Chain A
C-alpha cells in the first residue's frame, strides 16, 4: 500500500503494516482526545518510525494516489485535533 507523509512524499509499505498503523492511529485518537501531549508524541513517532523502517520511496514517475496520508512530521497536538478524530486517519 502507498502512504504519504505530508510534505515529504510517498512510500510503498507492506500491506501487513496497515494493522499496526491502524492500532497506533486509534490509540493516537485517544491520546489527542485526552489531551495527553507526551503520549501523542510517542505514538505519532511510532507511526512515522514504521514508515521509515518498512517504506520505500516511490519513484518520481509513478503517478498514483496514496491509501493513507499522514500529516506533516512536526504536527502539534493542537493541529492533530483536526486530523486524529473519530476513526482517525485510517478508517477501521
Chain B
C-alpha cells in the first residue's frame, strides 16, 4: 500500500495486528476484533454528532450576523433621516462587510452539510462492513483450521480497518473545516462588537496586498454609495438636501 493509504491506516492497522497477535485462539481473536470494531463505531457516531453540533453553532452565528445587518440598516436610515450622512455611511460600510462575511459563511455551511451527509452514508457503510465481519467470523470459526483462520481474519480485519481509517480521515477534515469556520465567525463577531469592522481587511492581511485592500474598499464603497442614494431617495432627501435635517420628511425611520 502506498501514499495516503500508508499514512492513513497505519495506526489502525497497527492496533489490529497487535490485537491479532495477542490471542492464541482465532475464535477469541475474532470475537475481540468484532467487539473492538463496535467500540470504534461508537466513536465514529460521536464524532459525527460533534460535527453536527459545531455546524449548528455556526448557523447561530450566521443568524446573529443577519440580525446585526438589519440593525445597521435601520441605524443608517435613522442617521440619514437626521442629516448625518457620515454616520449613515459608516453603518452601511459595516453592513456591507458583514454581508460579505455572511455570504461566505452560508456557502461554507452548505459545503459542511454535504460533507456531513457523506459522513453519515459512510458510517452506514462501515456498519454494514462490521456486520459482514460478524457473519464471516462465524463461518471462519466453523470451517477453517487455526492457521488458515488466522490469515483470513487478518484480511477481513484489515478491510474493516481501512474503512474505519478512511471514515476517520473524513471526520478529521470535517472537524477541521468546522473549527476554521467557527474561529473566523468568532473573530468577525469580536471585531464587529469592538466597532472595528472597517479595519478587518487590514487586520486579516495574511495573504492580501495593498491592491487587494484598495479593490475591496472600492467595491464596498460603490455598494455603499448606491445604497446611500437609494435610502436618500426613499427618505426624499435625494435632491442635494442631504446636509439639512430631514426629520419629518418621507417615511419615518
9-residue interface stretch from B52-60, B84-92, B127-135? B127-135
Interface residues on chain A, number (Cβ under 8 Å):
25
A70: interface (CB < 8 Å): yes
A53: interface (CB < 8 Å): no
A83: interface (CB < 8 Å): yes
Judge whether A68 and B5 touch: CB under 8 Å. Answer: yes
Residues of B within 8 A of A68 (CB): 2-3, 5
A65 to B, closest residue via Cβ: B158
9-residue interface stretch from B98-106, B165-173, B211-219, B220-228? B165-173
A27: interface (CB < 8 Å): no
A-B contact count (CB 8 A): 79
Contact residue among B4, B125, B129, B160 (Cβ-Cβ distance under 8 Å from A6): B4
B-contact 0/1 string along A56-91, CB 8 Å cutoff: 000011111111111110000000000110011111
Chain B, interface SS category: helix
Per the 8 Å Cβ criterion, residues 80-124 of B in contact with A are 118, 122
Contact residue among A6, A65, A67, A70 (Cβ-Cβ distance under 8 Å from B170): A6
Judge whether A7 and B125 touch: CB under 8 Å. Answer: no
Cα distance A16–B169 when bound, in Å? 29
B231: interface (CB < 8 Å): no
Per the 8 Å Cβ criterion, residues 1-36 of B in contact with A are 1-5, 8
In the A-B complex, list the 7 residue pairs whose CB atoms are closest, starting with the nearest: A63-B159, A89-B3, A69-B5, A61-B132, A60-B128, A63-B156, A7-B170
Residues of B within 8 A of A (CB): 1-5, 8, 118, 122, 125, 128-129, 131-133, 135-136, 155-160, 162, 166, 169-170, 173
Residues of A within 8 A of B (CB): 4, 6-9, 60-72, 83-84, 87-91
A63-B155, A69-B2 known; 19 new pairs, CB 8 Å cut-off, are: A4-B162, A6-B8, A6-B169, A7-B170, A8-B118, A9-B122, A60-B125, A60-B129, A60-B132, A63-B129, A63-B136, A65-B159, A65-B162, A68-B5, A69-B3, A83-B3, A89-B2, A89-B4, A90-B2
